[in-house]
Amino acid sequence: MATEKINVNINSEIGELESVIIHTPGPEVENMTPENAARALYSDILNLSVALPEYNEFKLILEKVAKVFDVKDLLRDILQNDKVRSTMISRICRHESVEEACRLLGDLSNEELAKQLIEGVEMQKDTLTKYLDNERFSLHPLPNFFFTRDASFSMNDKVMISRMASKVRERESIIMEAIFDYHPAFSTQTVNPVKTFDHSGKATIEGGDVLIASENIILSGISGRTSSQGIDAMLEYLKTKPGTKHLILQELPYEPESFIHLDMVFTFLDKDKCMIFEPLILYSSRHLTIHITIEDNKVVEISEEKNILDALRKLGIDLEPIACGGHRDTYIMEREQWQSGANFFAIAPGKVIGYGRNTHTMNELNNHGFEIIKARDVIKNKVDIASYEKYVITIEGDELSRGGGGARCMTMPIRRKAVEW
């Protein structure tokens, strides 16, 4: 009997979570070496045997509150369709110029194909050139894929397909697009704004930069991963939608790498609270905040704002900021922001998940009325989260945080309940 399709619906960052896509990290993480770590966008190599138990805590919490899908399972499902399978293999091989890998992939079972598309295809050392090649893989692993936020993102009832800033991650977008186009579990349409609207060749956009404040208010970073041309492509898409839309944009520094996306310096926590990295969001004079207003099919205004909070307040969303790392010591703020201390994922208004290692940030949250609850206590049913109005569930993130992302980075929500503002 066919299961009922899930209609994609994301109109906020904080509405009660109903469905989410994750990817449990696997051998692709361990397939990195010091030589290819930089190419894979890592500054360090994760220890999977330590990271996996931390991740499983996170996954078990999500499974307590929502329907959770894993990328590898979804990919295996759609590969049962022969047309989808052959199209995906040819598209990936054409994009990555690896004809040899294509021939190998075509002979694999669906289970093994799903595995190797994520974990990598080892190079057959059957010629002198290949034998002398230092590369181990002809099709490289995808060690960043457990950050499912980036390759696609839900906006209202559609799924936006990202154009990744680095070619090493483009396969993630190809896989996510195929999942939403062909998996029977989902009812939605994919939109590829860069492919459809960009003519510059410079457009990139990643989901970690895009936050859905409300049905008509979208935030985005202008970053090393999301270019102004990428924002322009999204603007063109928004012009096709009826009514008034607001884009609030925040310039981010290109260094250090902890500023990779907007959600590393700003995340929504509740209807009236957000987490910020204060030095950038409130006190940077070098990084612009820009407000673009779209009415029906045209941009009617582009103006500079004091900061994100001020821009949102003018639109009826009044947020009290909570400071990542606290207020007292800039070094502590910078350390905890580096450890994804501003990157929280809301499972409902005022109910969020984050890394417990950021103790100063947790103290700030506690001072603002959030109960601090350890994930393992929830998993073992020592704590009933239903009895708390506001809380942070802390996962152990000592190893996971070294990958350069937090709880929001590791989720791709596809359905939330409406928020009563």
Catalytic residue ranges: 409
406 and 353 Cβ atoms separated by less than 8 Å:
no
Cα–Cα distance measured from residue 37 to residue 143, given in angstroms and rounded to the nearest whole number: 9
User: Which of 413, 68, 60, 57 is CA-nearest to residue 268?
Assistant: 413
Q: How many CB atoms lie within 10 A of CB 185?
A: 18
Element of type H or E holding 246: strand 244-251
In this structure, the dihedral spanned by the alpha carbons of residues 174, 178, 180 and 181, taken in order and rounded to 10 degrees, is 130
391 and 372 Cβ atoms separated by less than 8 Å:
yes
CB-based contacts of 356, cutoff 8 Å, min separation 6: 362, 372, 374, 375, 394, 395, 396, 397
What 8-state DSSP symbol labels residue 220? Answer: E
Cα–Cα distance measured from residue 380 to residue 383, given in angstroms and rounded to the nearest whole number: 8
- Please give the angle made by the CA atoms of 202, 208 and 210, to the nearest 5 degrees: 80
